[in-house]
A and B are shown apart, each in its own frame.
Chain A
Amino acid sequence: MDSVRALTLIVTMAFLVLAMPAEVALGHGVELSVAPHESIEVNAAYEAGEPMAGAQVAVFAPGEPAEPWLRGSVDEEGRFFFVPDSDRPGTWEVQVRQAGHGGIVRIEVEPAGVVEVTGGGLTPLQKALMAACVLWGSIGTALYFKRRAV
């Protein structure tokens, strides 16, 4: 029964760094520019591990708890990616729900990146894993920009 009732929302970091030059000029006057961003990945699954494929997602920005800043749905593997507005530090909330089951996870975002994640039915092991992911994200960011500076 608990496999149905409980679900787990796991938040990790992902880096959307596309393997393209910073600017690309194409033949008909189109210019594409690419910038690396740190994204947040939410993994939504029932406790038994089954992904909540297709579940609805609502993201709430700090200070606006009533209206979603972003709506979407998780993919077949239960994943949802978003890039929070770096100009809006504070607690970002992500609700995931599907067919009578839902959960919420809170992500503390500061200009330097994610600093804390709470909620989502996380076990201590998952929290430790998440902390490692956030740490990895910070190191990754530092290494990326260090490489860029060389």
Chain B
Amino acid sequence: MIGIRTTRMVVLLVTLLAGILTFAGCAAEGAPEPETPAPAAETSDTGLLVFAADGEEHAREGTVSKEGWNITFEHAYVTLADIAAYQTDPPYDVDADGWDLAYDHMVSLPGEFTIDLADPASDPAILGEVADAPAGFYNAFSWHMVRAASGPAEGNSIVFIGTAEKDGETVDFTLRFDQELAYQGGEYIGDVRKGILDAGGEAEAEMTFHFDHFFGRADKDADDPLNTDALGFDPLAALATDGVVDVSLGDLKESLSAEDYARLEDILVHFGHIGENHCIAEPLE
């Protein structure tokens, strides 16, 4: 035991002596200054997250309803607020998780935004951006559709203004919906994958609004679920006076059949998507 201790002491002393001699030698040779800590990596762990909304070509270029009405929008206002994007792992699954959204990072975009999805420049409409968003995959989103406090859509969450034409008949329409809704959905599904933010890079968080759910599509079979569930334009044209229909949601509740109004309520709930991924939604009041 004593031998082992002695050996350890010797090794320690030799090591210390070697260290001292080495240090002295380096100093005598004018050793470089001690290295400063390596600078942090040039790339930060954040990036630019751009929030956008898209009404797709149905809003910007018009659409043909399931009954053959050629519909063009002069304006298609929606008002959005309380917008947020989330990084979730395991990925948020709207069908399995419902409203329970557990996240690692959340980036919110403060403010209220009234945007015109019929504007050709709204491809998509840029709402705002967050410059220091944590890098990662933004695969869940939430927002509210609210009544505009001011502006062209004041008092309404959705305002559609446009013209419908069919067989020589023209109907100018203004549809005003004041229903406020909360939406929540998972990752963007589309022809490209969005929401992947690399450090120092840029990514898009897009909310998508499906206008064909309101009016259906002539290029789909009549028994396609998209058309059987759509309101179409015939029920609205039936309300026109001198070629004009200007109605609120309350007016439609009084005027439409119970079946059509229930259909319209359901359409409003399912208006918001993330690309082609459906959301859950519920009225705010």
Contacts and interface: CB of A to CB of B under 8 A. Distances in A.
B partners with A: yes
A1 B95 contact: no
Contact size range, B: 20 to 34
Given A65-B137, A65-B193, A122-B95, A100 B229 contact: no
B186 interface: yes
Contact size range, A: 20 to 34
A4 B229 contact: yes
Interface string B108-126: 0000000000000000000
Contact of A1 (B220, B267, B277): B267
Contact of A66 (B193, B225, B278): B193
A113 interface: no
A118 B277 CA distance: 16
B204 interface: no
**Interface of chain B, main secondary structure:** mixed
B144 to A, nearest CB: 19
Contacts of B276: 97-98, 100-102
A3 B226 CA distance: 9
Nearest to A93: B91
B272 to A, nearest CB: 11
B278 A48 contact: no
A6 B95 contact: yes
Contact of B95 (A3, A46, A121): A121
A79 interface: no
Contacts of A102: 189-190, 275-277
Given A4-B229, A104-B189, A122 B96 contact: yes
A97 B190 contact: yes
A66 to B, nearest CB: 5
A119 B96 contact: yes
Interface of B: 90-91, 93, 95-96, 137, 186-187, 189-190, 193, 196, 210, 212-213, 220, 225-226, 228-229, 263, 266-267, 270, 273, 275-278
Interface of A: 1, 3-6, 46, 48, 50, 60, 65-66, 95, 97-104, 106, 118-122
Complex A-B, nearest 3 residue pairs according to Cβ-Cβ distance, in ascending order: A102-B276, A102-B189, A121-B95
